Structure 1
Amino acid sequence: MHLNGESFGVVGALRAFPVRLAVRRVESLGGRLHRSVTRGTTTVVFGRTLLSKSDEGEIERRVAAARPRRLLSENGFLRALATLPPVAASNMLRRSILDQSGLSGDVFDLLALFDGFEHDAEPFSFRDLILAKKYAGLIASGASWSAIARSVHQIGPVGSLTSLSLHSGGSDKILSRDTHSTSELDGQRLLPMPDDDAEAEDYFGLAETAEAAELYAEAATLYAHCSAIDPTDATSAFNLGNCLRAIGQTDDAAIAYATALKRDPLFVEAWFNYGGLLRELGKVDAARRHLARAIELDEGYADAIYNIGALEYEAGVLSAARGWWRRYLELDATSDWARRARAGIAVADQQLRTAG
């Protein structure tokens, strides 16, 4: 890595380490760094300690004065120096996030400049979209952008905020809510607050969008929050199980499916998907019971009938496999799965004749 003579100016002290250490690192890479903005400055870095040293108006004036130079957040600067790991790949444009979140461009840019998002610059991630929607709600509730920027770094990586419900406690205080209570983002617990059904619906919509985009880890976090908000919601628990299964967290997926069935014992798809997971784990008897229960609840559930036939075939119970697959063909005679069922029946017949 080489900075090719680039000149950095730092506004506000860095939270990560003293500026003198940053000077050494920049110089070792062929660049220059000053503790202020000079005529030769090409990139202005805004340290996060500025949030606690200056009021919002002063910060906005200093940001305006630094333009049209390139502006860089503290995390962006650390990534440029290769002292902070790169963030995960992303593909969301700033314009798209603004359109979907309702956050104003000026506020978005200021929050990004003070590392209010996972990514400090375009392209952004789906988590950044979730955060932008949360921040837009806080702004609409009376919070200031500087209060958000000061608060979001008090409990760890900003990405972790996607699983929390955030609320304005006035213009200068941000509150978080989990299943049991409400706290300030510095961890101080407050009195419990009632859950909001509309908020659960918002989380569920975001979770569905993430799942459709195959962002299963993000979707799992959101579905888990929905499931915690409403202990009667079988669908969120079921969808959580699907997402956890997709990312290989099979033990947690099994718990989620079991939770869905406890909440709704007639949830046919939950019996089917749980049965499929148990089959993958080699738990044949349990898988058989779950798939059979799905068929008991829905006699025309072709996928369940096919899969229990496949399970019996794998278990060596060829007569049962043949019976299930024949039943499947009564429901579906033309698809690729129907052709596989016929082939399976033929193999089972041949093996049974040989064994007989």
Structure 2
Amino acid sequence: MGALTGITVGLAGALDAFPRRIAARAVGTAGGSLRRGVGRGTGLVVFGRGMLRRWDAARIGALLDEATAVGAQPVSETGLLRRLGLLDAAPDGPHDAEALARLSGLAERDVRLLALFDAFEADTAPFTFRDLILARKYAALTNAGAGWDTIARAVHRVPDVGALAALTLDLGSEGIVARRPGWQGTLDGQGTLGLVAPEEDADDLFDAAGAAEEEGDWDRAAQLYNRCLTLDPSDGVAAFNRANCLAALGRAAEAAHDYARAVKRDPRFADAWFNLARLMSDAGHEDAARRHLSRALTIDPAYADAMFNLARLEYEAGNGVEAARLWRAYLEHDADGEWAQRARNGLALIALERAAAG
């Protein structure tokens, strides 16, 4: 078994280590599957360093909260590479995140966020003695007015971040300044300029498509997601998002095609199976809808919406026993929501029919 067998890895932001398509292949070889963002069933969320070039601190912090809320484990790029066996394990150290924060004066949340962008030797606890020195330097920078994201942007391109422990770090007018006797330089985090890689373009397009989608500009969003797919045909989330936009535009047949494309790229994409089932049901293809909902529940047995919809279809197909089982299962997940009473009404109707049948 691979190190990531059965795990869905969510990718947020572009990776600096290698293009997304190579990451997808490496994760697949390790037994997992790679998907953009945080979705149903995500086990690990990789915080790609490209996020620092495109997202502000608030948006990154919100993603951390979202990942934590759904039980996914946030990891840095280095953390992913270590799980894939492409880097040696982190140096052993004596400090957990709480101790690192307490001994350095750095906020524990800042410790966590900086670790997610490999600003320490270790990408997660236990942290080393050099990490404690770095944390104290970072705490001084935050006290001088630097945000954790400013620090991360400055240091994340340093080849050996542990070497910063031997330097003096100060916040200057042009950014974070590193000094040692006889030398000083600005850690601007810019790196060297080079040709723009197609993967970078794909990430820019994906972000632009997401912004258009949030604004309700479904047509532009669909076009941008289509360009993402031209650059990276393996991107199941781009296909899924494009299908959502096409469905909002009333282009159901095209939407169904892209949902099918999403599940072909990522067979464990439960939300894509669910949305495809909805379109099949709307088109009168009830058997196909039931198969797709069953597939979604096989992937995620706790998918309450899939339970409810499959129960309705089973009832309409005359399978009252199975419909009752599914509605009871739904009520275990949602006893008070908008659809809970409808599930109870369905169970009551089945009970009346049984009583009338005698």
TM-score by length of 2: 0.50
Quick check: 1:3–1:30 contact (8 Å CA) kept in 2?
yes
Determine if the alignment matches structure 1 residue 145 to structure 2 residue 176. no
Corresponding residue for residue 3 of structure 1: 4
**Contact 2:153 / 2:188 at 8 angstroms: preserved in 1?**
no
Name the residue aligned to 1:28. Answer: 29
Alpha-carbon distance in 2 for matches of 1:96, 1:70 = 20
CA distance in 2, matches of 1:3, 1:42: 9
Q: Corresponding residue for 2:64?
A: 63
Q: Give how far 1:186 is off.
A: 4.6
How do 1:139-218 residues align onto structure 2 when only pairs under 5 Å count?
A: 139-169=142-172, 173-186=175-188
How far, CA to CA, are the matches of 2:171 and 2:31 in structure 1? Answer: 44
Deviation at 1:84, TM superposition (A): 1.5
Gaps of 5+ in 1: 189-356
In the alignment, is residue 80 of structure 1 matched against residue 83 of structure 2?
yes
Aligned to 1:345: none
Verify the 8 A CA contact 1:143 1:169 in the aligned structure 2.
no
Query: What is the aligned partner in structure 1 of residue 55 from structure 2?
Result: 54
1:278-333: CA deviations, max 9, x gaps? xxxxxxxxxxxxxxxxxxxxxxxxxxxxxxxxxxxxxxxxxxxxxxxxxxxxxxxx
CA contact 1:44–1:70 (8 Å) conserved in 2: yes
Question: How many Å separate the matches in 1 of 2:20 and 2:38?
Answer: 14
Q: Which of residues 103, 106, 115 in structure 2 aligns to 1:103?
A: 106
Quote how far apart the aligned CAs of 1:187 are.
9.4
CA contact (8 A) 1:155 1:186 kept: no
Local SS of the residue matching 2:10: strand
Partners of 1:27 and 1:105 lie apart in 2 by: 33
Contact 1:143–1:168, Cα closer than 8 Å, also in 2:
yes
The 8 Å contact of residues 48 and 74 in structure 1, kept in 2 or not, is answered as yes
SS in 2 for 1:10: strand
Partners of 1:143 and 1:109 lie apart in 2 by: 16
Matched, 1:129 2:150: no
Mapped contact 2:97–2:112 kept (Cα < 8 A)? no
Deviation (angstroms), 1:181: 3.7
The CA distance in 1 between the partners of 2:62 and 2:188, in whole Å, is: 28
Overall identity of the aligned pairs, in %: 44
- What is the identity, as a one-letter code, of the residue corresponding to 1:35? R
> How far off is 1:88 after superposition?
2.0
Displacement of 1:32 after TM fit? Answer: 1.1
SS at 2:126's partner residue?
Answer: coil
Q: Which residue of 1 aligns with 2:122?
A: 119
The offset of 1:183, in angstroms, is 1.6
Listed as ranges, the gaps of 5+ residues in structure 2 are 191-358
Q: Distance in 1 between matches of 2:81 and 2:189?
A: 27
Deviation at 1:173, TM superposition (A): 1.8
Aligned 8 A contact 2:90 2:123 in 1: no
Give the distance between the partners of 2:68 and 2:37, measured in 1 at CA: 14
Alpha carbons 1:46, 1:73 under 8 Å: kept: yes
Asked if structure 2 preserves the Cα contact closer than 8 Å seen for 1:19 and 1:35, the reply is no
Report the equivalent of 2:95.
92
The answer to which structure, 1 or 2, has the higher relative contact order (CA under 8 A, 6+ apart) is: 2
